[in-house]
Amino acid sequence: MEIKYSRIPLNYTTIQTTQSRIAKGLLAIPVSLLDWFPKENGTIYLVSRNDSIKKHSFTAYSSSTRECRIGGMKQFYADNQIKDGDELVLQRFDNDTFRLMPETTFSRQYQQSISLLETCQDDETVQQTLKETEKLVNISADKILENEFIKLANVSGAPERKIKETKSISKRENVPLYLRRILQSVYEGKCQITQFTFLMKNGNPYFEIHHIIPEWGNHIKNLLVVCPNIHAQFTHTNTVPYFDQEDGWLRQVSFNGTLYNVFQKIDVLHKTFTKEVHY
């Protein structure tokens, strides 16, 4: 087994295929993954992307072959044009139910889901897109959003904030809905300075988002989850921000000479994503 950096903001597991097993329509399960699979011969179930379930014969490592393997894979290999050395993403749902997907398909579909999320214009579409992404990656929506937060934090440089013209009135662009959802999930709607929030009638926490440098755009480091009182102080008091020199996160802010610390969730998150490649 080898640990490699993931190209997408997810941690996942893959099995590398071999030509000899492809030709036989088998998938050999590496010894490093034996704990994921049943200890006796029998049947396991593979879930497709459209949620259909297919039975496959299963040979346990304890059998006379001394090899753990899944049979009946010829159609899967043919449908997905699997070649020697290709990696299959393995997801486990329970003791005998799994999903296999070519890594290229898995990565492409994830990126498509996130691209769709970035363009969502209403909460209902955000919810539906996240639900579909949950099914793909087999992790919670909150974890998906947290991972996207980490990815966006690593994007270098803040874009200039756009100006929108509305009936001859100039107005700076708002924060996209998907970024609001990421920040709501990561900070649970709590002000990064006071930790205050309250629940609205719809059950969601109330929060506002402040652009630390108003002229800069929607880079995650330029956005701050705040309560209304703090937002007003940013607007109306003598404000002095203090950024760290290494990464550019806002660490403290002074309102009329009173200094406050700023909580940054990035400090407590694991910032790299890896995949386990099993041979």
pLDDT tens across 90-106, in order? 999 988 899 999 999 99
Give residue 67's pLDDT.
Answer: 82
Output the six-digit token pair for 112: 């498509």
> Which one-letter amino acid corresponds to residue 218?
N
User: Which residues, other chains included, contact 48 with Cβ-Cβ below 8 Å and sequence gap of 6+?
Assistant: 54, 99
**C-beta separation of 205 from 188 below 8 A:** yes
Q: Kindly state the percentage of the chain with pLDDT values over 90.
A: 81
C-alpha–C-alpha distance, residues 103 and 94, integer Å: 21
Share of the chain above pLDDT 70, in %: 93
Contact 8, 111 (CB under 8 A): yes
Distances (CA, A) of 133 to 3, 18, 88, 237: 24, 29, 18, 42
Q: What is the pLDDT of residue 148?
A: 96
pLDDT of residue 64: 63
Give the other-Cβ count within 10 Å of 166's Cβ.
7
Q: Which residue has the tokens 């590496």?
A: 30
Q: Mind listing the pLDDT tens digit for each residue in 162-188?
A: 665 655 555 566 899 999 999 999 999
Helix runs in the chain, H state only: 19-24, 74-79, 103-118, 123-137, 141-153, 177-187, 228-236
Q: Residue 215's pLDDT band (boundaries 50, 70, 90)?
A: confident
Calculate mean pLDDT across residues 229-257: 96
pLDDT at 278: 95
Beta carbons of 97 and 53 less than 8 angstroms apart = yes
Mean pLDDT of 199-203: 95
Residue 131 has a pLDDT of 95
Q: Which pLDDT belongs to residue 62?
A: 74
pLDDT at 100: 95
In the chain, at which residue ranges do the beta strands (DSSP E only) sit? 2-5, 12-16, 27-28, 42-47, 53-59, 69-70, 87-94, 97-102, 163-166, 169-172, 208-211, 223-226, 239-243, 250-255, 258-261, 274-278
Model confidence at 63, pLDDT cuts 50, 70, 90, reads: low
Q: What is the mean pLDDT of the chain?
A: 91
Max mean pLDDT among 35-44, 64-73, 191-200, 215-224 falls in: 191-200
pTM for this structure?
A: 0.87
Residues 107-117 have a mean pLDDT of 96
**pLDDT of amino acid 43:** 94
